[in-house]
Amino acid sequence: MWLAAIAGLAALLWTSAMAQGPPRIEPPAGALVGPTLGGSIDPVPPSVPSEAVAPDLVVDLSVPRVSITSAFQGESILLFGMFDPPGEIVVVVVGPPFRETVLRKQRVLGLWLNIGRQSFDDVPAYYAIAASQPLQRLLARSAGGEILSLEDRLSSVRAIGERPADELAQFRNGLVQVKRQEGLYPAAIGQVTIQAGRLFRVELPFPSTLPEGVYEIRTYLLRDGKIAAAVSRPLPVGKVGFSAELAGWASREGSLYGLGAIAMALVVGWIGGALVRRL
């Protein structure tokens, strides 16, 4: 009975996902269900599958994408789903990879100046974790080689150029410090709440400083400290409407954009000045 219910839910999620989003941002069928069943669902399944299809883990998001509009102040996204008990849920949100250059201040002749610099490749623009239990307890035993904690993830970023390992570690810590201040590597681990022993939900808050790109939201089902199932969902984050047009214009046609900015300043300054003086 349960198996059928779960399969039904999976089918429902799949069809609704197909209906709402453009196909390019949707994951392949295999990505929606756990690895135990990879790729076994038909693109258009019947409402009640003939075979008992029982993914261990089903996940969906409250929105298909994060739209940065002029009113954007950050956004909270709801991730929800269902799993086959027993187990615990861990959710990892990873932003697109970028090359980042960390600058370090040093005291020179009494002045604090940026002297040291170190670049890293493949640095995630954003990294957040949510879990249904304190993470240390969940990861007491090896999680099967999958990367979970921020520390683990960052140990894999590639440093550019040669530098002693202890100095590299300092720069890496500096990178985390800065990202934390910007709210892009939240230190707090989000709380995944589990209801009725098999439904789970978690609010994923994103700050307004969110960089654009395709984010990946990975949900893991852990049993005895081992990954029993994993689901990955892409989450595109991008400017839309006025913000997108302006930013696109500025990067594509900088000169024209510059002329526009000058004209705007002249017109607003002139009219505004004349108006205010009349008051």
Partner 1 sequence: MEIYLPIAEQSMNVFVLLGLGAAAGLLAGMFGVGGGFLATPLLIFVGIPPTVAVASQANQVIANSISSLQVQWRRGNVDLRMGLILLLGGMLGSTAGVSLFTYLKRIGQIDFVIAVLYVLMLSTIGLLMLFESLRTYLRRRRNPEGPRGKLHTHYLVHRLPLKLRFYKSKLYISALLPLGIGFGIGVLSAILGVGGGFVLVPAMIYILGMPTSVVIGTSNFQILFVAANVTFLQAATNGTVDVVLALLLILGGVVGAPVGSRLAARLSGVVLRGLMALLILAVATELLTDLLRTPGSLYSLAPRDMAP
Distance CA 130, CA 103 (A): 30
Residue 266 interacts with partner 1 (CB under 8 A): yes or no? yes
SS3 label, residue 89: strand
According to CB under 8 A, which residues from 54 to 73 bind partner 1? 68-73
Residue 172 is which amino acid? R
Site string for partner 1, 6-45 (x = CB under 8 A): ----------------------------------------
| List 113, 140, 169, 214, residue binding partner 1 (CB under 8 A) | 113
- Give first-to-last CA distance, the chain, whole Å: 76
Among the listed residues 1, 50, 112, 196, the single contact to partner 1 using CB under 8 A: 112
Show the tokens assigned to 177.
């410090």
274 is a contact residue toward partner 1 (CB under 8 A): yes
b/e sequence 230-260, b meaning 16+ C-beta within 10 Å: bbbbbbbbebeeebbeeeeeeeeeeeebeee
Of 58, 79, 56, 163, whose CA–CA distance to 129 is shortest? 79
Least distance to partner 1, CB of residue 66, Å: 12
DSSP 56: S
Q: Which of 111, 165, 188, 196 binds partner 1 (CB under 8 A)?
A: 111
Beta bridge partners of 118: 102
What does the per-residue mask of binding to partner 1 show for 234-263, with x meaning CB under 8 A?
Answer: -----x--xxx-xx--xx--xx-xxxxxx-
Which helix H or strand E contains 60, and what residues bound it?
strand 57-61
In whole angstroms, the minimum distance from the beta carbon of 36 to partner 1 comes to 40
Q: Does 102 bind partner 1 (CB under 8 A)?
A: yes
The contact set with partner 1 (CB under 8 A) reads 68-74, 98-106, 110-114, 117, 119, 171, 174-175, 177-179, 181, 208-209, 211, 239, 242-244, 246-247, 250-251, 254-255, 257-262, 264-266, 268-270, 272-277
